[in-house]
Amino acid sequence: MQLLKVHHRQIVTAKNVPLRLRGWNIGGWLNMEDFINGFVGAEHNLRATMSCIIGKEKAQFFFDRLLDHFFTEEDVKAMAKFGANVIRIPFNYRHFERDDQPFEYLEDGFKRLDQAFDWCAKHGMYVILDFHAVQGWQNPDWHSDNAHVHILLYQH
C-alpha cells in the first residue's frame, strides 16, 4: 500500500486520485481502555493489579494471549469484506518502551504492529497510527494511561 496525502483538502493516492476512507478503529488492542476492555482505570494499573494478584508470569501470559487474540488477520479479512479500506490503530507507548528503561525498546509491540501492517497490506487496507498514549501524558485522564493528574508532555 502506498502512502496517502492531502491535495486541495482531499485525501488522495500517490497519483492524486481521490480516495474515500471507510474503516474501523482497533481500540482496546495496543491501548487498552476501560470502556472497551471492561475494567476500571488505566492500562498500567490493570497490568500491575493482575501481577499482584496472580503473579507476574501469569499476568504476562494473560496479556500476551489477550493481545494475540483481540485482533487477528481474520478481523482484517472480515473488515475488508464489509467494504472497509482503512484501520485506525491507537497505541500506548508502554507497548514499545518501559518507563524505568527509556530508549530500550520492547520488540513485542513492534512485532504486533508489523504483523498488523502485513495483514492490512495483504487485504488492501490502509493503516492510520494513532499515538494515543504518549510518554509524559498529553492529558490527565485514563485514556492516556496517566498514572498521575499531571501533564508533563508539554513541559520543556
Enclosing domain of residue 81:
21-140
- Do residues 127 and 117 make contact, with C-beta atoms less than 8 angstroms apart? yes
pLDDT, position 39: 79
CA separation (Å) from 66 to 13, 133, 138, 141, 149? 35, 19, 26, 23, 28
Residue 7 lies in a domain: no
pLDDT, position 100: 85
pTM recorded for the entire structure:
0.87
Residue 55 lies in a domain: yes
Instruction: Please tell me the total count of domains within the chain.
Output: 1
pLDDT in 10s for each residue of the chain, 156 residues: 789 999 999 999 999 999 999 999 999 999 988 778 877 778 888 899 999 999 999 999 999 999 999 999 999 999 999 999 999 999 998 899 988 888 899 999 999 999 999 999 999 999 999 988 877 666 666 666 666 676 666 665
Residue 45 lies in a domain: yes
Residue 152 lies in a domain: no
Residue 46 lies in a domain: yes
Residue 12 lies in a domain: no
pLDDT, position 8: 92
pLDDT, position 141: 66
Contacts 24+ apart (CB under 8 A), 74-83: 75/26, 76/116, 76/119, 76/120, 76/122, 76/123, 76/125, 77/119, 77/123, 79/23, 79/24, 79/123, 79/125, 80/123, 80/124, 80/125, 83/22
